Amino acid sequence: MRIVTYNVNGIKARLPRLLEYLAEEQPDIVCLQELKSSDDTFPEADIRAAGYGALWHGQKGFNGVAVLARGTDPVERQRGLSGEPEDEHSRYLEAEVDGLVVASIYLPNGNPQPGPKFDYKLRWIDRLRERAAALLAEERAVVLAGDYNVIPNDDDTFSVRAMHSDALMQPESRAGYRALLAQGWTDSLRTRFPKGGIWTFWDYQAGSWQRDAGFRIDHLLLSPIAADRLVNAGVDKAYRGREKASDHAPTWVRLR
């Protein structure tokens, strides 16, 4: 089973690239982030025509997450995180597909920091960690897949100096991510590439793609039962180089 996380940076703008990816790679499950689409304008018909069922939690203009499943309809378990009833951001969608529990996660960016956006990011990590603990208690195969907007280690970026003041690499952001892992989750890509140096995001600015000046912020975390089934993990980097591509590359894990 191949599970992909893919921040599409606008599903309407990137729909040709997404459909291309589905046709060429035929992943079993795809967790999408940053749809920038309301629920009403989500391109369900195009995705179904490609052979995928879909759940989505949209928001006009920004945010938005979805779960796609090849040849079947994902069963919704939860949308949104508890803890802040006034939070209307569409950033979390949890579903079940063929016995596997998956969550599509779009963690807040947090810039500029310090400030209210960074405070919201840290609170959101705490809320995610609470939900993650409940999922672990179910003793199921679970994949928490998404754009975490956290660079976990120094070797997960092309330049520590360039990113040192960014919310993605602050000690508090990293501590929140490490606390999540400490519950018992496995960072699948880190397991496959323990020395780092593999990127999932390249900015549109300053020739970042051409210079390979990227960093790793898209993660697939595995519960212990899912980690026992880990076969491989990687990044489909070439898709970042296609015309009008997202600034993220599809990132994946393969489970038995």
pLDDT value at position 53? 98
pTM of the model: 0.97
* 152, 190 Cβ separation under 8 angstroms: yes
pLDDT value at position 46? 98
Torsion 36-245-235-53 (CA) sign: positive
Q: How many whole angstroms separate alpha carbon 222 and alpha carbon 213?
A: 27
Q: How many whole angstroms separate alpha carbon 220 and alpha carbon 218?
A: 7
DSSP alpha helices (H): ranges in 165-248?
Answer: 171-182, 188-192, 224-227
Q: How many whole angstroms separate alpha carbon 197 and alpha carbon 124?
A: 27
* 220, 5 Cβ separation under 8 angstroms: yes
pLDDT per residue rounded down to tens, the chain (256 residues): 999 999 999 999 999 999 999 999 999 999 999 999 999 999 999 999 999 999 999 999 999 999 999 999 999 999 999 999 999 999 999 999 999 999 999 999 999 999 999 999 999 999 999 999 999 999 999 999 999 999 999 999 999 999 999 999 999 999 999 999 999 999 999 999 999 999 999 999 999 999 999 999 999 999 999 999 999 999 999 999 999 999 999 999 999 9
pLDDT value at position 255? 98
State the Rg of the chain over Cα: 17
b/e map of 193-202 (b: 16 or more CB within 10 Å)?
Answer: beebebbbbb
What 3-state DSSP class applies to 227? helix
Output the CA–CA distances (angstroms, integers) from residue 117 to 168, 235, 237, 248, in the order listed: 12, 29, 30, 22
The set of residues, in sequence order, having a beta carbon less than 8 Å from that of 56 and lying 6+ positions away, is 32, 35, 37, 39, 42, 44, 64, 65, 66, 67, 93
